[in-house]
Every structure is written in C-alpha cells, then in structure tokens.
A = this chain, B = another copy of it.
Amino acid sequence: MPKAQRMAQMLTVAEEIFAEQGYLATSMDEIAERVGVSKPMLYEYFGSKEGLLIGCIHRARTELREKTAAAISGAASPEEFLRLGLLAFFEFIDEHRRSWALLRQEAAVAVPSAQEEVEGIRQQQTDMIGAVLASFTPEIDPLEAEAFAEIVVGATERLAVWMERRPSVGPALATDYVMNVIWPGVARKLPEPAQPA
C-alpha cells in the first residue's frame, strides 16, 4: 500500500483505539495489529507513539479549521459570525465524537507536545474570534478581546462535552445556549446595536 494511504489508515485506526481505551492503555502493538502491519511501520511513519497521537490531533485540527472557515465565510455581522462559527464547531463535534474525545481528553494531558497541538486548535479559534471582534469594535481593549475569545472557546468546549452526555441536545440547541449567555454581554460593547432577529 502506498505511504500516504497507509498513513491515513493508521491515523484512523489509532484515533479509534485511543478514543476507546485512552492513550496510556493503548499499545503500539495493538494498533499495528489492527492496522494489519508490524510495529516498526508505525515508527517509520510517525516516529513515536506521541508522534502518532499528534498526527491524529493534527488531522482533526485541519478538518475543523477548514469546516469552520467555510461556515463563517458569508457572515455579515459579528452575531452571525459567532453563531455560524459555533454551529460549525458543534457540528464537527457531533460528527466526530471519537476524535473529539481524543482531542479533548487524551491529548491535553499526557504528552507535552500533543498538548501544544491541542493548544494550537484553541489558538486557531481564539485568534479567529478575537480578530472578528476587533474588526467590528475597533476601540475595544485588546486584553479584554482576548479574554472574551478565551471565554467563548472555553464555554464552547465544555458545552461540547456536556452535549455528549445529553443526546437530546444537538448542535443547533447548543449554539443557542451559548449565544443566549454570551451575546448580550458582547452586544453592549458593539458600536451600534445588532438588529434583533
């Protein structure tokens, strides 16, 4: 099998097993076996167990970025921008429960450089939010804009975890909940009031 295809397959299998059992409880032998290949191949392509984990996270991150970018491209107001971005995020989670669990739980902890990868995802999100906020309300305190972006990302992530425990809550409702709490606080900072829907 050609390298690129084999790597993709390895990532898919690894993601699944990591999410199922946790990073620590998963052995490279097990992943290799489920891929149908021997352990040194994993090391050939990913260097280490940590490298494999980072590969998984990185792929998810790329997907999320692309999906989010597409979703918000048509937004005209900060409110619409926020809503579309949140919705894209929750939909991504909904479609990728496993990789999400992996990202959120497995990586954050164990492995310093994996943590950097995860941090990179958040950076991606906070930068986006911070940038849009600043572009719509130029006179906002930059520190406060940063704090705001962090708050939104934290709230969203946590609600995504909660959503898993509450099957009746889908992406749309989750988006509503976050917007309900967060939007009034932001609207006060905006130069002109957004027209109510």
Contacts of A183 in B (CB 8 A): 185
B109–A23 CB distance below 8 A: yes
Q: Is A110 an interface residue (CB 8 A)?
A: yes
**Majority SS at the chain A contact face:** helix
Residues of B within 8 A of A181 (CB): 148, 151, 182, 185-186
- A166 proximal to B (CB < 8 A): yes
With A22-B111, A181-B182, A184-B184 as contacts: A150 and B159 at CB distance below 8 Å? yes
Complex interface bits, A84-121 against B, C-beta within 8 A gives 1, otherwise 0: 00000000000000000000111111111001000000
Contact with B along A136-152 (1 / 0, CB 8 A): 00000001101110111
Minimum distance in angstroms from A167 CB to a CB of chain B: 12
Q: How far is the CA of A182 from the CA of B154 in the complex (A)?
A: 13
Q: A144-188 interface mask toward B, CB cutoff 8 Å, 1 = contact, 0 = none? A: 101110111111111101100010110000100110111111111
Bound Cα distance from A183 to B148, whole angstroms: 13
Which residue numbers of A lie inside 8 Å of B, CB to CB? Answer: 22-25, 104-112, 115, 122, 143-144, 146-148, 150-159, 161-162, 166, 168-169, 174, 177-178, 180-188
